[in-house]
Amino acid sequence: MSERAIFAEAPARDARFEVKERWAELRNLDGADPQHQTEFLHRQMNEEVNSIEISARNLADFPDAPWELRMAIARQCWDEARHCLAFRRLFEARGGVVGEYPVINFQYRIITKIDSLAGRLAVQNRSFEAAGIDAIDMNLQVYDPERDREFLELFEMQLADEMQHVRFGNDWVKRLIDLEGPRTTFAVAKAVAQASEAFGQIAEAGTVYYPVSSDARREAGFSEDEIDAARRLTPQGSS
The tens digit of pLDDT for each residue in 100-121 reads 999 999 999 999 999 999 999 9
pLDDT value of position 209: 66
| Per-residue pLDDT, 134 | 81
Q: Report how far residue 80's alpha carbon sits from residue 60's, in angstroms, rounded to the nearest whole number.
A: 17
Query: Is the whole model's pTM more than 0.85, yes or no?
Result: yes
Would you state the pLDDT for residue 206?
54
Which CB contacts under 8 angstroms, 24+ apart, belong to 16-20? 16/98, 16/99, 17/46, 17/99, 17/102, 17/103, 18/99, 18/101, 18/102, 18/103, 19/102, 19/103, 19/104, 19/105, 20/102, 20/103, 20/104
CA–CA gap between residue 156 and residue 143 (Å, rounded): 12
Low-confidence residues in the chain, pLDDT < 50: 237, 239
Task: Show the CA angle centred on residue 103, arms to residues 100 and 104, nearest 5°.
Answer: 175
List % helix, strand, coil for the chain (3-state, nearest 5).
70, 5, 30
- Cα 174 from chain centroid? 20
Q: What is the pLDDT of residue 75?
A: 96
Domains and CATH numbers, the chain: 14-233 (1.20.1260.10)
